Structure 1
Amino acid sequence: MKPDYARNMRLVGHSDQGGRRDGIQVMVENGFAYVGHLFSKGFSVVDVRDPKNTKPVGYVEAPPNTWNVHLQVADNLLLVIHGKDVFADSAFADEASYYKAAAGTALGTAAPKAERDWDAGLAVYDISTPGQPKRIGFMPVSGGIHRIWWTGGQWAYVSALLDGFTDFIFMTVDMSDPTNPREAGRYWLPGMNLEAGEKPSWSPVAKYGLHHAIVNGDTAWGAWRDAGLVVMDVADRTDPKLVVHRNWSPPFQGGTHNCLPLPDRDLLVVLDEAVLDDFEDGLKNIWLFDVKDRANPVPVATMPVPQDADYARKGAHYGPHNVHENRPGTFQSSSIIFSTWQNAGVRVFDISDQYRPKEVGALVPPAPQGLMDQRPGKKPIIQSCDIFVEASGLIYVTDYNAGLYIMEYDG
């Protein structure tokens, strides 16, 4: 299999994930990849101990009208989100109808006790036998969860959609008993709690909802989509407090998706996600912020955009989607940043000079063999989605249609 473009990177292996080629988040633990699906519902397990000869070994089906797009692994446990299977709903065949509306409004949960036809919450699986997840716990969350940050231990952090709120908020979860995870605390931007009489101060087409937060020490760095960066103090996990809120949308396009702290350098990598086809939502950036004072984050640079082809006119989604998040036990670097750019594949940046980031590696996989995405107007164009880099340097990349790619960076 030959990539469409490669610079300082090479393909090592590929998996069609048992015919379910669509993937969102991927986690690798003890030689097995756990992949959340976007269209195939549920999640799959792939044996990647031999990266050149991968083997699909399991699939766990989601409940009706439910997706398991995001997951986390640590401590021989797998945490999996349960939320509304948005793109199986004909109301969201045009992605803009989801991304240009508050989630609570779009899914109906902003109205208290609204009816729903999906399963909502956080599932916990025992994976002490590698590749064989066994469900042991579940925490109901009224509207569902979008994404989790959990690296083991007592505290997990989720973006939760609750009855009566406009969109996803920040929630801390006590994992001390994995069979019975419990909410510990929550934070939301003022204006999100409709049930309490709050009124949004932002445009109804702005998506003011938490994608997820990455927590380092007692600071949670929240990617709040069109509301930008929300920094929270979580020294008391039962009572998160706002440190500062910074938003650059407008004039920029919004869609903040990742906020990755690099604490040894007092830097923060902030990625704004491209969510619409054919460059409809314009140029999205990966920013570098100086956060020596966490209460005063200052942008100092953006990553350079790909120059090897005219990706803005290639079709499908073009622009950043994800970064490797330096999880404990994985590849960790405060100078090399791995990112996915959807139709522009994978991009690797050297930020040794934080004022002049440079691209030092790239790989664009070939076009998918077919479409898992059956929504109208979709085209067989690569859409590199999530990225996970093992301590060994092996890079795992999912795609909406093309399966799981395993790569190496030679820089």
Structure 2
Amino acid sequence: MATELPRPEYQRNMRLIGHSDQGGRPDGVQLMVHRGYAYIGHMVSQGFSIVDVRDAKKPKSAGYVAAPPGTWNVHLQAHDDLLLVINARDLFADARFADEKVYYTKAVGDTLGDISQQAWSAGLRIFDISQPDAPREISFLPLNGVGIHRIWYVGGRWAYVSALLEGFSDYIFLTIDLADPRKPQVAGRWWLDGMNLAAGEKPDWPAGKRYALHHAIIAGDTAYGSWRDGGLTLLDIKDRSQPTLISHRNWSPPFGGGTHTALPLPERDLLVVLDEAVLDNQQDGEKLIWLFDIREPSNPVSIATFPPPQEADYVAKGAHFGPHNLHENRPGSFVSSTLIFATYQNAGVRAYDISNPYRPVETGALVPAAPAKMMDTRPDRPQVIQSCDVFVDAQGIIYSTDYNGGLSIIEYLG
């Protein structure tokens, strides 16, 4: 007997075709779909899960890999036979971050204080996934500090991470040399002025702002970095050991910050930049998805914003309303410079046509049902969908995670 799918709250030009509770661990952050398997990092359950999605309408739990004690694996990247998984302090298990404002409005290093006595694993775990449902750890790159937040890796010699190292206020940019994946090494580092506390630098940004690299996406020899309240950087990484600044833009203030993802569309000289909504009921202001013209990399210019969802009062719905992440056009997945997919947290998954870069148009949406149960253990979290990550496979099937609601598998009909 077929299990009935959860009924979406809203859908337009999209339909739900599959759903998984990820083996009883329905909390998900980043996901990769690779060779018919979804790899899903957890926010609460630590570790990561594997779901067989070769039949997208009948996903099956295919395994779980635990994290070391005190550690989370919220983000991961898969390419060829390698799976790269972040190791960092499980911050949301720390009572000091029970109020999420603490995480988003001050440097993580300030909140944690002395991190020299680590009761967690910090660094990069690398797995062989030549057998997709049986990851085998082949190496670990240890780092002193809180650990890694997110990775960009699409094969080849180089990976790129955001990491909070001892002596820094928050996460900075690192290049990782994987010439031998069994012996990964840090090659280069870059940070915003004021972040290197050990070198005597002093933060010069306003109180209540968090300057920290969320992650960078790489195209050619340029790294497009998103620095939360620190805005956007373009870095020249021709020499992977010595990144240099091309340009830095920050629109916070007057806008609310939270810059999360910068997706280059090189063949069109465009850059999609998403600011993450990080507080409930838009307490951090309206967050937007921006389109930049980057014909002149030293002077990125914002030329448009994407239209926000209008069909319901999502601010009043509760929890976070606003953008969270983009489908990142990874090699081997769905790649387009005109059709952009984003998650909008309590407003679900959205698709946009940017054929006219000055007038992005929403072409589809699906808001999944509220989660059946709450995995998020922080106090007073509302039982509301918070669509987190989105991945679109080469066939155009959309996969989206939620902090509590499991994996939604969606067909785009636009």
Q: Which interval holds the TM-score relative to the shorter structure?
A: over 0.9
In structure 2, the residue corresponding to 1:97 is in which secondary structure? helix
Which residues of structure 1 form unaligned runs of 5+?
none
3-state SS of the aligned residue for 1:227? coil
User: 2:281 is matched with which residue: 261, 278, 282?
Assistant: 278
Query: Given the alignment of the two structures, is residue 393 of structure 1 paired with residue 396 of structure 2, yes or no?
Result: yes
Instruction: Name 2:30's counterpart in structure 1.
Output: 25
1:156 aligned partner: 159
2:374 alignment counterpart: 371
Q: Distance in 2 between matches of 1:397 and 1:100?
A: 27
Alignment correspondent of 2:291: 288
Matched, 1:204 2:207: yes
Q: Find the residue that maps to 1:19 and give its secondary structure.
A: coil
**Alpha-carbon distance, 1:76 to partner:** 0.8
CA distance in 2 between counterparts of 1:348 and 1:52 reads: 21
- 1:313 aligns with 316
State how far apart, in whole Å, the 2-side matches of 1:107 and 1:99 are.
13
| Residues 197-252 of structure 1 deviation map (CA, whole Å, 9 limit, x = unaligned) | 11111123211110000010000000011010011000000100011110000000
Aligned-residue CA RMSD in angstroms?
A: 0.9
User: How far did residue 278 of structure 1 move?
Assistant: 2.1
Match of 1:101 in 2: 106
Which residue does 1:170 correspond to in 2? 173
State the alpha-carbon separation in 1 of the partners of residues 373 and 55 from structure 2: 25
Q: Return the letter of the residue paired with 1:96.
A: K
Report SS of the residue matched to 2:340. strand
2:127 corresponds to 1:122 = no
Q: In the alignment, is the contact (CA less than 8 A) between 2:255 and 2:285 conserved in 1? A: no
Corresponding residue number in structure 1 for 2:65: 60
Is 2:80 the partner of 1:75? yes
Gaps of 5+ in 2: none
- Partner amino acid for 1:57? A
**Does residue 343 in structure 1 map to residue 346 in structure 2?**
yes
Aligned residues: 408
Contact 1:331 1:392 in 2 (8 A): yes
Partner of 1:13: 18
1:387–1:395 CA contact under 8 A, matched in 2: yes
TM-score (norm 2): 0.97
**In structure 2, which of residues 220, 223, 229 is the aligned counterpart of residue 220 of structure 1?**
223
Is 1:39 aligned to 2:44, yes or no? yes
Which residue type is aligned with residue 235 of structure 1? K
CA contact (8 A) 1:102 1:204 kept: no
What secondary structure, in the 3-state scheme, does the structure 2 residue paired with 1:199 have? Answer: coil
Rounded to whole Å, the distance in 2 between the matches of 1:245 and 1:115 is 35
CA offsets per residue over residues 66-103 of structure 1, 9 Å max, x none? Answer: 10000000121100000110111111111001111112
**Partner SS for 1:105:** helix
Structure 2 CA distance for aligned equivalents of residues 231 and 333 of structure 1: 21
Q: Percent of aligned pairs with the same residue?
A: 63
Counterpart residue identity of residue 235, structure 2: M
Rounded to whole Å, the distance in 1 between the matches of 2:281 and 2:22 is: 28
Q: TM-score, normalised by structure 1?
A: 0.98
